[in-house]
A and B are shown apart, each in its own frame.
Chain A
Amino acid sequence: MVASKIGLGIWLGVITLLWSLHPLPFSQARGVLLLIALTGVLALLGWLSGFQPLVVWSGGVGLLNLTIALLVASFPPNLWVGLSAGITLLALLDGSQRFAYLRRCQVDRGMVAVLLGVFVRISGLSLATGVGVGVLVANLPPALARTSGAGLLTISGAGVFVAMFALFLLYTSRWAEGPAHEGSPPDPPPHDR
């Protein structure tokens, strides 16, 4: 139990450092450095206090920082930069949530391996999907990318994607409200996290 806690603590520390320092190879502008510090502090505070919104804020700030750093440095498009940042971000968010369980609960043997298994599975799926998206984007006809309506098409495509995704989540959330097996649906415990 103690070893699991120490192990996951070290893992979270490394991931926090990686996530906050991710934009550094692309730009070392003062604004980028400031956002790096803010990202790290937010993640650290969220991790230590167990307050998940701080970690999410750190994720948002880091994402913005990475985009700014890439834009400032005019770095050529690179699929692996995005995917590695994404897996680090997932590890940060998922790890801090798992650490909250480890901190509060008595953990059964082999549990850490099970929790890491889920993370590895999602990371693998993300890599596969990322490569697929990369291949799709690379094979787009260059003439289409240079048209004047490409920007509008990208923004409307992103909007449609987000809207469809949100609709899917809303629809599947209705599944979540299915009938309970034992009487009325349980209310969250009074001392819940």
Chain B
Amino acid sequence: MQRRNAAQTYYYFGLLLAGVLLSAVSRRLEPLCAVLPLAIALLYSRLVRVEPVFTLRCHLAPLRVFEGDPITVQVSIQAETAVPPTELWHLLPPEAICPGGGNRLLVTLRPGEERTFQHEVIFPRRGAYTLGRLYGRVHPGPDLQPLLAEYHYDQLCRVYPRIAPLPRPVPPLYTHASFGNYVSRTAGEGLEFAGIRAYSSGDRLRRVHWRVSLARQQLYVTDYYCERNADVVILLDTLASVGGPQGNTLDVAVRAASSLAAHYLHQKDRVGLIQYGGVCSWVSPAAGQLQLYRLLDTLLETQMHFSYLSGDLSRIPPRALPAGALIFVVTTLLDPRIEAALHDLLARGFQLVLLLISPAQVLPTRRRPHVAEATTRLWHLEMDVRLHEFHRLGVPVVMQESDDPLSGLHPGMSRGRQWSRAR
């Protein structure tokens, strides 16, 4: 602990000086008596020297949360000697919200006493935040020479983008034979019951349906539908972002991407991610819970970096962009370089779904409805012109109409002849 002079010390001494001066000049005792308590307080703070001994612990749980979920912080203090009024301040990042303001405590303890305080921290925005830095300020006596201490119980908390469940499943157009939730119309390896037929040469013995075989006195085997899954790639446009730290199009896009990834991974599809900015980065498609956290960790650090370069999709290896993959392009279309990439993908025969994030939803004009309405209409007009080519090529386009960018996904994808599976 470090003893420091508080600003109050200088104020008290200044007033003491003024009182003595007034007393000497006016030759009256009253001004001197008026500043006497200040002099006593100054002397008291110097002569009463308390060195409290206490142990501090800080525990945070959980360390991985989604946006808006609370992180519980437990601060335990165990006193070996009597602890005078002590301020404990858990310093939070500016993005954090502490409901009830319990991150600053003023406590006093008796010798041997142990107390635990708890408060919750909420992060409304994704990111990796360091928590657990505590400042202690012991106020012995009149608080003119507080004892300061800094305690580092740094722990990294990962706040993942919020995952919004899709109201209805949106199956991909093309699938391939692998384990998954989609059932083929042909029989093969799988779990879904298809029927019972007579045994033929080459059928596996474990497929024999013994009950029917005994009843009919002839071997019968069970048929199953073939299981299939799909490759889904989310292409996130990080070329441009509109809005401030409180809300911007990139954050909305990241939430949409994480929701899509969670949905398709839950369907046992293989999901990959491409971040299209000045330099492309990618995560190859894979299935499973581990892949979800791999994608969320990547999305956590997604930032917009301005660059005059434009990423070249032809350099992305085929394992990251497999043939026949369903590609969700999450973009604002504010940067025209993304259109070149989209035409490249269409020319290579990929099935695209264009998910347009509306800047009108994050602009601060939302408090003025007429301005917000005009912005939305202008944006729609511009998008109609720019999306004409994509409409002509039959690319499903989902435009963000509300706070949830995925609300129009199912109607957008089930429209038209191409996406009959989603109907």
Partners in one complex: yes
Beta-carbon contacts under 8 Å, B343-373 to A: none
Interface string of B84-123 (1 = CB under 8 A from A): 1101010100000000111011111000000101010000
User: Which residue in A90, A101, A165, A176 is a CB contact (below 8 Å) of B37?
Assistant: A90
The secondary structure that dominates the A interface is helix
Please name all residues of chain A whose beta carbon is closer than 8 Å to the beta carbon of B102 when the two chains form the complex. 106
On chain A, the residues within 8 Å of B291 by CB distance are none
Answer whether residue B33 sits at the interface, using C-beta atoms and an 8 A cutoff.
Answer: yes
**What chain B residues lie within 8 Å of A185 (beta carbons)?**
2, 148
User: Which residues of chain A have C-beta atoms less than 8 A from B39's C-beta?
Assistant: 165
Q: How far is the CB of A172 from chain B (nearest CB, A)?
A: 4
Cβ 8 A contact of A101, one of B32, B35, B87 = B87
Cα–Cα, bound, A106→B120 (Å): 13
Q: How large is the interface on B (under 10, 10 to 19, 20 to 34, 35 or more residues)?
A: 35 or more
Q: With A97-B143, A155-B24 in contact, is A111–B33 under 8 Å at CB?
A: no
Q: Are A85 and B30 in contact (CB under 8 A)?
A: yes
Interface residue B386 (Cβ < 8 Å from any Cβ of A): no
Q: Is the CB of B106 within 8 A of A56?
A: no
CB-CB nearest in chain A for B4 = A176
User: Is B3 in contact with chain A by the CB < 8 A criterion?
Assistant: yes
Note all chain A residues with C-beta closer than 8 A to B26: 67, 70-71
Q: Is B374 an interface residue (CB 8 A)?
A: no
CB-defined interface of B128-145 with A at 8 Å, one 1/0 digit per residue?
A: 000000010000011101
Question: With the chains together, A168 CA to B118 CA distance in Å?
Answer: 42
Contacting residue for B11 out of A56, A85, A154, CB 8 A:
A56
Which chain B residue lies CB-closest to A110?
A: B108
B215 at the interface (CB under 8 A from A): no
- Contact yes or no, A63 B150, CB < 8 A: no
In the assembled complex, the CB of A125 is this many whole angstroms from the nearest CB of chain B, namely 5
CB of B32 within 8 A of CB of A126, answer: no
Partner of B29, one of A82, A105, A175: A82
The answer, yes or no, to whether A11 is at the interface (CB within 8 Å) is no
Set of chain A residues within 8 Å of B9, measured between Cβ atoms: 169
Per the bound structure, the CA–CA distance linking A130 and B34 in Å amounts to: 9
Binds A, one of B14-22, B228-236, B306-314, B388-396: B14-22
Whether the pair A176, B24 counts as a contact (CB closer than 8 A) is no
A183–B36 CA distance with the chains assembled, in angstroms:
38
Instruction: Please report which residues of chain B, range 31-63, place their CB below 8 angstroms from some CB of chain A when the two chains form the complex.
Output: 31-44, 46, 49
B20 surroundings in chain A (CB, below 8 A) = 158, 161-162
In the complex the two chains form, is B11's CB within 8 Å of A172's CB? no
Is A36's CB within 8 Å of the partner chain B? Answer: no
Q: Among the interface residues A81, A126, A177, which one has the most CB atoms of the partner chain B within 10 A?
A: A126
- Give Cα distance in the complex from A16 to B94, angstroms: 35
B151: interface (CB < 8 Å): yes
In this complex, the interface size class of chain A, counting residues with CB under 8 Å from chain B, is 35 or more
Interface string of A95-126 (1 = CB under 8 A from B): 00100011011111011001100110111011
| A30 beta carbon closer than 8 Å to chain B | no
Query: Hey, which chain A residues are within 8 Å of B41, CB to CB?
Result: 90, 94, 122
- List of B residues within 8 angstroms of A87 by Cβ: 37
Q: Which chain B residues in 228-260 approach chain A with CB under 8 Å?
A: none
B22 near A154: Cβ-Cβ < 8 Å: no
Contact A64 B37 (CB under 8 A): no
CA separation between A80 and B150, bound complex, in Å? 45
User: Is A79 part of the binding interface, using a Cβ–Cβ cutoff of 8 Å?
Assistant: yes
The answer to whether B30 and A81 have CB atoms under 8 Å apart is yes
Chain A residues within 8 Å of B104, by CB = 104-106
Q: Does A43 contact B (CB under 8 A)?
A: no
Q: Are the CB atoms of B85 and A111 closer together than 8 Å?
A: yes
Do A63 and B35 touch across chains, with their CB atoms under 8 A apart? yes
Smallest beta-carbon distance B151→chain A, Å: 7
B402 at the interface (CB under 8 A from A): no
* Complex-state Cα separation, A178 to B43, whole angstroms: 19
Query: Is B8 a contact of A130 with CB atoms below 8 Å?
Result: no
**Interface residue? B28 (CB, 8 A):** yes
| Contact call B4/A162, Cβ cutoff below 8 A | no
Contact pattern, A 59-93, Cβ under 8 Å of B = 1, otherwise 0 = 11001101100110000011101110111011001
Ordered by A's residue number, 5 sampled pairs between the chains whose C-beta atoms are within 8 Å are A86-B35, A97-B8, A114-B85, A115-B85, A162-B20
Known A-B contacts: A108-B115, A122-B40, A173-B5. Give 12 more (CB < 8 A). Answer: A71-B26, A77-B28, A93-B12, A94-B142, A106-B100, A118-B142, A158-B20, A162-B20, A168-B46, A169-B13, A181-B1, A189-B135
Binding site for B on A (CB under 8 A): 52-53, 56, 59-60, 63-64, 66-67, 70-71, 77-79, 81-83, 85-87, 89-90, 93-94, 97, 101-102, 104-108, 110-111, 114-115, 118-119, 121-123, 125-126, 129-130, 133-134, 137, 151, 154-155, 157-158, 161-162, 165-166, 168-169, 172-173, 175-178, 180-182, 185-191
The 8 closest A-B pairs by CB, nearest first: A82-B33, A82-B30, A186-B150, A126-B37, A90-B37, A176-B3, A158-B24, A172-B46
